[in-house]
Amino acid sequence: MSLDGAYDDQNIFARIVRGEAPAVKIYEDHAVLAFMDVFPQSRGHCLVVSKTSRARNLLDVEPEVLCKLMTDVQRVARAVVAALNPDGVVITQFNGSPAGQTVFHLHVHIIPRWIDQPLKGHGQGGIADVDALKVLAEQIAAKIS
């Protein structure tokens, strides 16, 4: 999908937000949901999405929604660092399939990095063990302030 197009309310993140598809959740409030990426590029890779906006990408989103979303990206990223002690953290976000976007509901990736561990390719990490994701999500959630 290019930058232009209609929001598809059957996309997987919309279904997760509505509780129609499973996800290993880390943090949730009225506006934002953070959950583990099921094809993680590194240990602790997680995603933050808006629960209220029908934005497909950052170019679409209402500024006030973006402000809240990014505030919570910072909150979750700080918790990832506190819980997992990575050497660095990638915060990334793709707009349009030519840019690498595969799910067209605005989301931000939080990807912890360790200097001795190569990053897996985007969407090429293989499916994660759900029980292992639950352990990580609990560790991260415990550090959210």
- Is there a contact between 12 and 106 (Cβ–Cβ < 8 Å)? no
Residue 12 within binding range of ligand 5GP, rule CB under 6 A = yes
Contact pick of 33, 101, 106, 112 for ligand 5GP (by CB under 6 A): 101
CB 21 to ligand 5GP: min, Å:
6
Residue 35 within binding range of ligand 5GP, rule CB under 6 A = yes
Q: Which stretch binds ligand 5GP (CB under 6 A): 3-11, 63-71, 78-86, 95-103?
A: 95-103
Please give the biggest Cα pair distance in the chain: 42
Listed residue (32, 16, 109) closest to 67, CA to CA? 32
- Is there a contact between 46 and 36 (Cβ–Cβ < 8 Å)? yes
CB 84 to ligand 5GP: min, Å:
18
Beta-carbon count within 10 A of 14 CB? 19
Site of interaction with ligand 5GP (CB under 6 A): 12, 23, 35-39, 94, 100-103, 123
